[in-house]
Structure 1
Amino acid sequence: MTEQGEGHHHGTHDGDTRQGDQRQQSAAEAWDERYGSKPQIWSGKPNAQLVREGDGLRPGKALDLGCGEGADAIWLAQRGWTVTAVDVSAVALERAARHEQDALDRESVHAGPGAIASRIHWEQCDLEAWHPTEKYDLVSSHFLHGPQLVWPTALLTAAAAVKPGGTLLIVGHHPHRLPPWGNHTHPDMFYTPEQLVQELGIKSPDWQVEVSTTRDRPATGPDGQEAVIADTVLRATRLA
C-alpha cells in the first residue's frame, strides 16, 4: 500500500458498546502508532486508479473512505470536488490537514486563499460503524484492508452512500497478486472483482457496472522492494 499514493484503512467489528469502544480504540491506536512511527507513510500522490477512473467525472460531492494522509481528497478538491474525507486515525487526519494547507499555500497565487480548504471536511470515524447522513456523486475507497475490518460491511456503507447518477469506485489488492511485503497474510482481507460485485449487490436494475477488472502494475515496497502486483477495480454508476 506504500507503493500507492495512499494506503487506506478501517474500523472495528460489531459488538456491545463497551467492546466496540475498546476495539475502536485499539484500531485507532494501532494506526496512530503506525503513522506516528514515520513522518510520512504513503507517497503523497493520489492513487493511480483514482486518477484513471476519476479524471473524466464531473465534479460534485465526494466521499473518500479511509483517506489516510489525504492525497486522494486533495487531488479531488483541486479538480473542483467538495470532499468528505474520513479515517480512523487522528494522526493521519492531522497530517492530511497539513498536506492540504501545503497544497493551498502552493496554489494560492493561482487559486486564491481557501480554494482547497473550503472543499475538504476531515472526519475521524470507525469505518465499520459509521454511516453517512447524505448521498454523494462519488464514493471512493482505495485499499480498505485490515485484520480488524469485515470489508463487506464498510463497502456496503460506501455503496449505499452513492446518489442516483453517482459513481462508486472501489480499488483493492487482488488476493492472488498481493505485495510480498507488509501485512497481507489474511486472505479474507482481499477480494476479486467478482466478489465485490456479488457481495455488494452491484447489478441491474439498480447499478450499471462500468469497470470490473484486475490490473497489474509495478510497485515499490517500503524498503525499496520491487514487484508486479494486481489491483481489483470496480467502478459502477447507481441508476436508482
Structure 2
Amino acid sequence: MQIKTSLQVLANTCRDQGMDLMTIMMTLMSGVGGGDRSLAAQAAAFSPTPTDAELVRLSHDLMDALDRGDLVAVNATLAPAYLEFVDDQPRDRSAVLASIAQRTSKAPYIARRTWDAERVVRKDDVLVFTGRAHEVQGGNETHGGYLYEGRYLLQWVRVGGVWRVQLLAWQKASTDRDAWNETFQNGRGFSLEPNRLLVEAVDGKKPGAALDLAMGQGRNALYLASQGWNVIGVDISDEGPRIAREQAAARELELETITADLDEWDFGVHRFDLVTLMYAGDHANWIDKIKTSLREGGLFVVEGWAKGSPEHPVGFGEGQLAMLCDGFEVVRDETIEDVPDWAWDKGKLVRFIARKK
C-alpha cells in the first residue's frame, strides 16, 4: 500500500529535508478497510462522523488504553495498516500489540498526562487529532517520575464503518539539547548515585584517564574523579555538564566537561584507560570510536536497556556488544531483569564489560 511505504521512510525524510514530522504526516491522510470493535466502536455511533469534542475524547481514550496496556481496547482500535513513529522509531500494529502483551510492569506507561493546544483537522473521511501533552512516566516512583513534553498526532480513518487509528506520531517539543537541558534542570526520573556496575568494574583498578559518554549530571564522572581518575565527561546538554562542574567545585574535584554531539565528537586514539556508556541508547556507531580511543588493557563498561524491552524498545540486543567488540576480552555480558538507573523501577537491562587486548 502506497501510504504504508511512504510512512516507513517518513522519519528519514524529515531528517534529510529538515521538515517537521507533523507537517509531512498531514499530507499523507488516507483510509483502509477491515476491523474489530471496542473504543473505535464508540466513534461509529456518531453520525455521520465524531464531533471535534468526541474525537478529542476518543484520542484521549486510546492514549489511556496504551498507557494501561489494555490489549483488548488497543487491538480493536488500531487499523490493520497502523504505524506509529515515536522519537523517529517506527512500529507497526503487530509490534505494538506484542510489546503490550510482553509487559511485566503493572504500572501505566504514563502516570499523568495533561493536554493543551488540541486541534481536529478534517479531510473527507479522514480525521486528524493533534495536541501537546505534558506527561509524567509511570513505574518510576523511586526517582520521582521522568517528565516528557511533546506533540501527538492521531489519524482516524473509517475501517468497515468503524473509526480506527491508522497513524500515531509523537514529536519532542524541543531539540535534543533543549529536552535534555530540561531533564537535568528538573532532576527527576533518574538515579543521582553512581552506577553499581561501574563501581564494581573499577574497584581495585589503578586510576587513569576516563571518558564518561553521555555524562548527564555527572554522577559517574564525579565518582570516578573522587577515586583519583582523570575524567572527561561529554554530553549533548549544557545543563548536565554545568551541574557536574558545580558539584566538582563544591567537592574540590578535578573534572573536565564538554558539551558536544557524540556523533560528531572525536574520541581520540589510545587516549583512555576507561570508557563508560550508561543508559545512552543503542549508538552502535560510537563503538568503533570507543575501541580506537581505548589504550591496551583499557575497560569499556556499558549498562542500559536491552533491545526489545517492553518498557524501552531501544537498546543493545543480546550478544550484540560482544560482537561489536570482537577482539576484546569480554569480562561480563548479561541481559537481566533488575532495577535500572533511569525511567523505571524495574526493567530488562544489558550489562557489559570488555577489556582491550
Return the TM-score normalized by structure 2: 0.48
Deviations 1:162-221 (A, max 9, x none): 11111111221113445x4xxx3xx3x2113411122x2x223xx211111123323587
Structure 1 residue 63 corresponds to structure 2 residue 211: yes
Paired residues of 1:193 and 1:233 also in contact (CA < 8 A): no
**Using a 3 Å threshold, how does the CA distance of structure 1 residues 192 and 70 change in structure 2: closer, same or farther?**
same
Asked whether the 8 Å contact 2:193–2:219 carries over to 1, the reply is yes
- The answer (yes or no) to whether the contact 2:212–2:276 under 8 Å persists in 1 is yes
Q: Distance in 1 between matches of 2:207 and 2:341?
A: 31
Q: 1:193 to 1:59 in 2, by over 3 A?
A: farther
Counterpart of 1:89?
237
- Give the counterpart of 2:266 among 124, 131, 135: 131
Residues of 2 paired with 1:159 and 1:209: CA distance?
13
2:326 to 196, 203, 210: 203
Render the CA deviation track for 1:134-186: whole Å, top value 9, x for unaligned: 410001111112xxxx61112332222111111111221113445x4xxx3xx
The answer to whether the 8 A contact 2:191-2:342 is kept is no
1:101 counterpart (243, 249, 252): 249
1:212 is matched with which residue?
333
| Aligned residue identity for 1:233 | R
Q: Quick check: 1:42–1:69 contact (8 Å CA) kept in 2?
A: no
Distance 2:184 2:232 in 1: 21
Distance 1:130 1:221, change over 3 A: closer
SS of the residue corresponding to residue 57 of structure 1 reads coil
CA distance in structure 2 between the partners assigned to 1:43 and 1:219 by the alignment: 9
Q: Which residue of 1 aligns with 2:191?
A: 43
SS in 1 for 2:339: strand
1:161-176 equivalence runs, <5 A: 161-176=293-308
For 1:215 and 1:35, the matched residues in 2 are separated by 27
* Cα distance, 1:127–1:220 mapped onto 2, change above 3 Å: closer
Runs of 5+ unmatched residues, structure 2: 1-136, 147-173
Does the C-alpha gap of structure 1 residues 124 and 190 become closer, same or farther in structure 2, counting only changes over 3 Å? Answer: same
CA contact (8 A) 2:190 2:342 kept: no
Residues 31 and 142 of structure 1, relative CA distance in 2, 3 Å threshold: same
Q: Is the 8 A contact 1:138 1:168 kept in 2?
A: yes
* Total equivalences in the alignment: 188
Q: Which SS does the other structure have where 2:273 is aligned?
A: strand
2:350 pairs, out of 232, 237, 240, with 232
| Higher RCO structure, 1 or 2 (CA under 8 Å, sep 6+) | 1
Q: Structure 1 residues 63, 79: closer, same or farther in 2, change over 3 A?
A: same
Change in CA separation of 1:203 and 1:75 when aligned onto 2, cut-off 3 Å = same
Identify the structure with the greater strand proportion: 2
How many angstroms apart in 2 are the aligned matches of 1:89 and 1:210? 31
Q: 1:95: how far off?
A: 1.0
- Letter aligned with residue 209 of structure 1: V
Query: Which of residues 10, 23, 29 in structure 1 aligns to 2:178?
Result: 29
Shift of 1:85: 0.5
Which residue in 2 is equivalent to 1:144?
280
Change (3 A) 1:132 1:213: same
Shift in CA distance, 42/221, structure 1 to aligned 2, threshold 3 Å: closer
2:256 aligns to what? 121
User: How far apart in 1 are the matches of 2:337 and 2:265?
Assistant: 32
Deviations 1:211-235 (A, max 9, x none): 111233235876xx74x32321111
Instruction: Give, in whole Å, the separation in 2 of the partners of 1:154 and 1:122.
Output: 19
* CA displacement at 1:67 relative to structure 2: 0.5
SS state at 1:192 partner: coil
Q: Following the alignment from structure 2 to structure 1, what is the Cα–Cα distance between the partners of residues 180 and 228?
A: 30
Is the contact made by 1:35 and 1:41 (CA closer than 8 Å) also made in structure 2?
no
Distance in 2, matches of 1:238 and 1:76, equals 20
Deviations 1:31-59 (A, max 9, x none): 123333x1555332001211122223221
Alignment TM-score, normalising by the size of structure 1: 0.69
Cα RMSD, aligned residues only: 2.7
Q: Quick one: percent identity of the two aligned structures?
A: 24
Rg: which structure is higher?
Answer: 2
- Measured against aligned partners, the alpha-carbon deviations of 1:40-93 in whole angstroms (never above 9, x if no partner) come to 553320012111222232210000001000110011011110001000000111
Q: Which amino acid aligns with 1:89?
A: S
